[in-house]
A and B are shown apart, each in its own frame.
Chain A
Amino acid sequence: MTPASSAEREQAGGGSGASWFYNPRVRGIVFQVLVVAFLLGMLAYFAYNAKINLERAGIASGLGFLSERSGFDVSQSLIQYSNDSSYFRAFLVGLYNTLLVAVIGIVIATVLGFVVGIARLSKNFLIRQIATWYVELLRNIPLLLQLLFWYKAVLSVLPSPRQSLEPISGVYLNNRGLILPEVIGQPGSSAILWALLAAIAAAIGISRWARKRQQATGQQFPSVFVGLGLIIGLPLFAFLVTGMPVELDYAELAGFNFRGGVVIIPEFMALLLGLALYTAAFIAEIVRAGILAVSHGQTEAAYSLGLRPRRTLQLVIIPQAMRVIIPPLTSQYLNLTKNSSLAVAIGYPDLVAVFAGTVLNQTGQAVEVIIITMLVYLTLSLLTSGFMNWYNSRMALVER
């Protein structure tokens, strides 16, 4: 350091001898102001450019387009929709279709994933190898490729409606989709639905009561079996008592296509198949890791307390494994939901295909459409991570 510079420093730093440059608080504030100013400047620059570009292209801005007539048809809709409906209605159709495939996909992927994950730990060599190869094969191939494979290479080469496959009587499989008989409720059938709801409520009540009683007295109650029995038995009872007021409407071949029945479009089947099989491979790994994470000492401790192997699994291993499994499992559920956006590649009318695809192309309002689409997924993901945090805080080990 030259003498001149040290003299300068004394001058600038004043009596304390330290320059403001070395004050962490000042540096922190300056740095943060710079970062925020830079980001705001960039945003303003982008917004300014976007405004000019949109004006030049003559594209309207704002959300007014949502109430305009859409003018296009959608191949699958859970709500009433026609080409006279508004763009907002189209948005809802896409959103519901996304949620539909996500929910069903999550259920299938979870069941399959747990089966495969447990199979990977099986003592049986053959089962273990099959499960391992399932995981290694599906996990390392892009999901989009799998979707296209199911759609273009498997479902598209199915026979035409006239030569439909009929795996079960009344169920037809052809290149137009899977055709199931429609369930038509006669008057009085709503009782079955009410019975089901009542049974679910009762099952939840019983399991709460059983847990409380077990914590107070130590006595166990087979709440799972009783709950399942209620959920299956009560609607069945209602079904029989009200005189079986449900009819199946079988599809019939009329001309070149089927009439009646419920049609599950091949796009939905391909998407569901691809998503469920792919995510199941990841869930299997999570389940395996979760079970392996419970140390062997826990099993030995349970045995030394005199618990039988099944009770050990039920009361010691699974509750502890679930603590490890649930957080990554929720993020897999989230991945599945986000991956359902690949539907656009095979033409399933999900949120991205309908809204960020067709609606964007028709209105040209890219900014609004993309932002709304992203916000939907962002909301779903924040809800999921919110649930995860809540669950984590409930299940986390309480340490002294």
Chain B
Amino acid sequence: MSMPKIAYVRTDEAPRMPPPVTETGVVGWVRQNLFDSVGNAVMTVLGIAMLALILPPTINWLFIDAVWTGTSRDACVVEGAGACWAFVNAKFAQFMYGRYPIAERWRVDLTGVLLIIGLVPAAIPRVPFKRETVLYLLVVFPIAGFILLTGGHVELSGSFWIGLAILAALSLAVVTLICRNAGIAPASPLKVVAGFYLALAAVFVVVSYDFGLRPVETQLWGGLLVTLVVAIVGIVASFPLGILLALGRRSKLPAVKLVSVIFIEFWRGVPLITVLFMSSVMLPLFLPDGINFDKLLRALIGVALFASAYMAEVVRGGLQAIPKGQYEAADAMGLSYWQGIGLVIMPQALKLVIPGIVNTFIGLFKDTSLVLIIGLFDLLGIVSLNFSDANWASPNTPATGFVFAAFVFWIFCFGMSRYSIYMERRLHRGHAR
């Protein structure tokens, strides 16, 4: 049986036509994203006009007209010259290390390497040994960094050691007394207290040991080194205090809660600059005669107290996100308050607030630039200090220096904010439907 041949019916499929040019490729994309309505077309034209106004002069100034090489201002005061990168080139080492002695700068580099060794495995979620890495970052690295940067060999007088010994003996006696009175075995609390003092003594021994490193005063520190030291010490020191304050704010004990709330709200309510003023002007008044902190340490204390209030609020957010059942489960297991917090609640809460901690760190990192107002030379401080160098004074020098400093800050902050977004996505994956 064969089909009758009908001339006007096609037997084979017509070849497929490509979609209209206006719907695909560059043209289609432009139509859909830039000119899909009159309003959007107007906005696009306005946007292009804005870019045309800003971009060409900026690029010209930054790259095309810029002066890349030179040994003094003469290269940069040419008519029509753009950014004076020769200035940054000449001062680069100073921007990084400040006036840190050139022969000793390997110590700064080594500290940086030690930090990266700890930070990279801590930041990548897949790498195991998290507990060990964090321990390294919070205990080993600070001590090593302190010795490397300052030279160690802190002079601790005999009376200091005697004082420490008396304090240890007193603590042990008090603990024994309380245990006797309360009728519990004093062995394990005594072990904890003795271990604490032994660890403390070990740290002091290491710090006061003479490694043969040349001491470098903090007055000589500067540039990115100070920026990083202030930011990292601020965040690390604020961490334990912040956790305690967060627990205090959620405590059922009214006095503890009140003290925590007042402390947190006070530091959050005042600008960092007044805190820095306070630590640089008022702190020396509060200490007995003879005890004198150097400027950097005073700034660090102010920054750490300030940051701890913000950290406390971040941690509190994490604590509030832990369901009540977890607390009750910890109680039901017979764990004490601190055991429950340390083994059940905190590990979960801290994991939740990693993005918040990173964001606090970004804020602190930006705020470190304020130390220039109390006379420390962080990256921004040392860059502005160099504007007064007569050898490099030119109309474009300040702008170039600021653009360079802004670029360094931007790289750090932008990188960290991307990391925080990545962690946020990762943490939320469990809740995704």
Hey, which bits of chain A sit against chain B, CB under 8 A? Answer: 1-2, 5, 8-13, 19-22, 28, 31-32, 35-36, 39, 46, 49-50, 52-54, 56, 122-127, 130, 136-137, 139-146, 148-149, 152-154, 156-157, 338-339, 341-342, 344-345, 352, 356, 360, 366-367, 370, 373-374, 377-378, 380-382
Q: Which of B93-101, B205-213, B251-259, B339-347 contacts A (4 or more CB under 8 A)?
A: B251-259
- Do the beta carbons of A19 and B34 come within 8 Å of each other? no
Residues on the A chain within 8 Å of B281, using CB: 360, 366, 370
Partner of A148 from the list B255, B273, B384 (CB cut-off 8 Å) is B384
- Do the beta carbons of A370 and B277 come within 8 Å of each other? yes
Residues on the A chain within 8 Å of B271, using CB: 338-339, 341, 352, 377
Interface check B417, CB cutoff 8 A: yes
Contact residues of A: prevailing secondary structure: helix
Residues on the B chain within 8 Å of A31, using CB: 253, 256
- Do the beta carbons of A8 and B273 come within 8 Å of each other? no
Closest chain-A Cβ to B312's Cβ sits at a distance in Å of 16
- Do the beta carbons of B253 and A46 come within 8 Å of each other? no
CA distance A381 to B180 in the complex (A): 49
Interface check B127, CB cutoff 8 A: no
Residues on the A chain within 8 Å of B285, using CB: 49-50, 53-54, 366-367
CA distance A285 to B286 in the complex (A): 42
What number of A-B contacts does a CB cutoff of 8 Å give?
Answer: 183
- Do the beta carbons of B269 and A378 come within 8 Å of each other? yes
Contact residues of B: prevailing secondary structure: helix
Which residues 388-433 of B have a CB within 8 angstroms of A?
Answer: 395, 398-399, 402, 405-406, 409-410, 413-414, 417
- Do the beta carbons of A21 and B183 come within 8 Å of each other? yes
Closest 7 A-B residue pairs measured CB to CB? A21-B182, A12-B183, A9-B183, A381-B269, A140-B413, A153-B399, A125-B33
- Do the beta carbons of B282 and A140 come within 8 Å of each other? no
Given known A-B contacts A50-B286, A124-B34, A374-B278, A35 and B370 have beta carbons under 8 A apart:
no
Partner of A123 from the list B33, B183, B254, B373 (CB cut-off 8 Å) is B33
Residues on the B chain within 8 Å of A130, using CB: 47, 50-51
CA distance A53 to B292 in the complex (A): 13
- Do the beta carbons of A12 and B181 come within 8 Å of each other? yes
CA distance A314 to B407 in the complex (A): 41
Given known A-B contacts A50-B286, A123-B36, A144 and B409 have beta carbons under 8 A apart:
no
- Do the beta carbons of A36 and B255 come within 8 Å of each other? yes
Given known A-B contacts A32-B254, A142-B366, A342 and B289 have beta carbons under 8 A apart:
no
Residues on the A chain within 8 Å of B380, using CB: 142, 144-145, 148
User: Nearest residue in A to B33 (C-beta to C-beta)?
Assistant: A125
A52, A142, A377 interface centre (most CB from chain B within 10 Å): A142
Interface check B387, CB cutoff 8 A: yes
Residues on the A chain within 8 Å of B36, using CB: 123
Given known A-B contacts A122-B43, A367-B282, A140 and B417 have beta carbons under 8 A apart:
yes
Hey, which bits of chain B sit against chain A, CB under 8 A? Answer: 33-34, 36, 40, 43-44, 47-48, 50-51, 178, 180-185, 252-256, 259, 265-266, 268-274, 277-278, 281-282, 284-289, 362, 366-370, 372-373, 380, 384, 387, 395, 398-399, 402, 405-406, 409-410, 413-414, 417
A-B contact pairs, 6 of them (CB 8 A): A8-B183, A49-B285, A141-B410, A148-B380, A148-B384, A367-B285
- Do the beta carbons of A338 and B270 come within 8 Å of each other? yes
CA distance A28 to B255 in the complex (A): 10
Residues on the A chain within 8 Å of B362, using CB: 140
CA distance A192 to B223 in the complex (A): 56
Closest chain-A Cβ to B280's Cβ sits at a distance in Å of 9
B43, B183, B259, B406 interface centre (most CB from chain A within 10 Å): B183
- Do the beta carbons of A32 and B370 come within 8 Å of each other? no
Closest chain-A Cβ to B367's Cβ sits at a distance in Å of 7
- Do the beta carbons of B34 and A126 come within 8 Å of each other? yes
Partner of A341 from the list B44, B252, B274 (CB cut-off 8 Å) is B274
Partner of A370 from the list B50, B274, B366, B417 (CB cut-off 8 Å) is B274
Residues on the B chain within 8 Å of A32, using CB: 253-256
Residues on the A chain within 8 Å of B406, using CB: 141, 145-146, 149
CA distance A382 to B264 in the complex (A): 12
CA distance A189 to B405 in the complex (A): 51
Partner of B256 from the list A1, A35, A382 (CB cut-off 8 Å) is A35
Residues on the B chain within 8 Å of A145, using CB: 369, 380, 402, 405-406, 409
Closest chain-A Cβ to B170's Cβ sits at a distance in Å of 15
Residues on the A chain within 8 Å of B270, using CB: 338, 374, 377-378, 381
Residues on the B chain within 8 Å of A360, using CB: 277, 281
CA distance A163 to B431 in the complex (A): 63
User: Nearest residue in A to B280 (C-beta to C-beta)?
Assistant: A366
- Do the beta carbons of A344 and B373 come within 8 Å of each other? yes
Closest chain-A Cβ to B177's Cβ sits at a distance in Å of 12
